[in-house]
Amino acid sequence: MKHTSMICVLTGCLLTAVGCQSNNKSAKVDGPAKPAKTESVKLSTSDFVQTESEQASAPVTNPTIVQEATSDDEKTLNTSKAEAATFFVAGMVGQVNGRAIYARSIFKDVHERLTDLGTRLPAPQFRQQASAMLQGRLKQIVMDALILGEAENQLTEQNQMGLLHYLKEFRKELIREEGIGSAERANLESLRKTGMTLEQRVSEKRNQVVVQNYLKAKLWPKINVSRKDIERYYRDHYEDFNPPAGRTIHMIRTHDDNVANQIDKELQKGRSFLDIAGDNVLNPRDWEKKGLFGKGIKGEPFGNDALNEATLKLAAGGHSPRMKVGSMYTWVYVDTISHGESKSLKEVQLDIERILKQQQYNRYTEEYQKRLLDEGSYNDLVEMHNRLLNICMSVYAGQS
């Protein structure tokens, strides 16, 4: 690896890697032998960004979930001193069902946000924000790995054949779209756009399909929506189907130049306005209600001509550019525009049925995930979170 200082060579970064306990008491994961004397090296944020050569030579696994251990020794972490040193450099923070979770897989999708927070927040506030971010990311990756492991165990030979055919066609489509028929060109274009090789994207698609098909086959047969359920939902959400005329408006506002720049970057990358408005870091004023200004808004609701003009020009689903209103940077978003049209139960019953089925599916999914977390074999979440947070504080905090 190019970055030999990568993750947890720094004193205290990983706390103690020896003797980590699995969440499943019947399936302990032993810690690695303590490596020989290791020098403390200051890490930098660039250690979490792979070079193109590293990406091209990376193993073909799902980079957003976990990477397979490559030998029985690595799976149990009963390693020699040399292997243990490699373990520290690789930055493995734990295991799920024998699959290693590496720090890089946790940080790569939140790297830019942590970098931004580290440049403008004092260490205690940064620690609080980063802790919540890493906790959610870690839990999702562990859950994805647990579901994938169970799903793969249920694959039949027929499933495998169908999956191989689907992935072959998916790979061909990527080559046609991004490489104009050239696999080498498609690989370079994929690295440029997504940071992943062509084969890594195929592997990621494989895992997504396996999990989605497994959950659908396992949970969908349990779902049942009755006529009474549909009628009850219509009564309880009458205003949604018989809305007042006007606009539903959301806003994001901030005094901070750096936050404003980050919001613009997120919007340019395609992140949804409502997702940003519900982000307690980017929109701390009204994040709980996703910046909702009001429903059924008519005419010119603001005491600012430029803001009113920008709002009236927006179609449903559109947002304004950044505007300076007084001392605040402001963005306005029109979620829906209603003309006061009412819809009968007969007109919306199929829509309501789909909503209720999705709600049941989500509930069954949460119950299933809880069971997996209770029964699965993985390192303690608190210990893994503490290691990640120590790494995060060493790399990202206090960059200003």
Task: Give per-residue pLDDT as tens, 5-44.
Answer: 333 333 333 333 333 334 443 343 444 333 333 333 333 3
Does residue 217 fall inside a structural domain?
no
What range does the domain containing 308 cover? Answer: 243-338
Show Cβ contacts of residue 17 under 8 Å, excluding neighbours closer than 6 positions: 8, 31, 32, 34, 87, 88
Q: Is residue 273 over pLDDT 80?
A: yes
Does residue 259 fall inside a structural domain?
yes
Exposed, middle or buried: residue 286 (CB in 10 Å: 0-12, 13-18, 19+)? middle
Does residue 282 fall inside a structural domain?
yes
Does residue 100 fall inside a structural domain?
no
Q: What is the pLDDT of residues 75-87, one digit of tens each?
A: 333 333 333 333 3
Does residue 264 fall inside a structural domain?
yes
Mean per-residue pLDDT, 238-265: 90
Does residue 255 fall inside a structural domain?
yes
Helices 123-153, 345-375: axis angle to 10 degrees equals: 90
Number of domains in the chain: 1
Query: pLDDT tier at 391 (50, 70, 90 boundaries)?
Result: confident
Query: pLDDT tier at 399 (50, 70, 90 boundaries)?
Result: low
- Kindly report each contact of residues 109-113 with a partner whose C-beta sits within 8 Å and lies 24 or more positions away, as own/partner: 109/64, 109/137, 110/134, 110/137, 111/45, 111/48, 111/49, 112/265, 113/262, 113/281
Q: What is the pLDDT of residue 397?
A: 83
Q: What is the pLDDT of residue 253?
A: 93
The DSSP element (H or E) to which 252 belongs, if any, is strand 246-254
Query: pLDDT tier at 295 (50, 70, 90 boundaries)?
Result: confident
Q: What is the pLDDT of residue 348?
A: 95
Q: What is the pLDDT of residue 116?
A: 84
Q: Kindly give the residue spans of alpha helices, DSSP state H, lying in 91-182.
A: 103-107, 111-120, 123-153, 157-179
Does residue 88 fall inside a structural domain?
no
**Do the Cβ atoms of 395 and 45 come closer than 8 Å?**
yes
Give the span between the Cα atoms of 128 and 183, in whole angstroms. 44
Cβ count within 10 A of residue 271: 14
Task: Using DSSP, state whether 13 is helix, strand or coil.
Answer: coil
Q: What is the CATH number of the domain that holds 288?
A: 3.10.50.40
Q: What is the pLDDT of residue 59?
A: 33
Whole-structure pTM over 0.85, yes or no? no
Q: What is the pLDDT of residue 170?
A: 94
The DSSP element (H or E) to which 385 belongs, if any, is helix 381-395
Q: What is the pLDDT of residue 254?
A: 93
Does residue 298 fall inside a structural domain?
yes
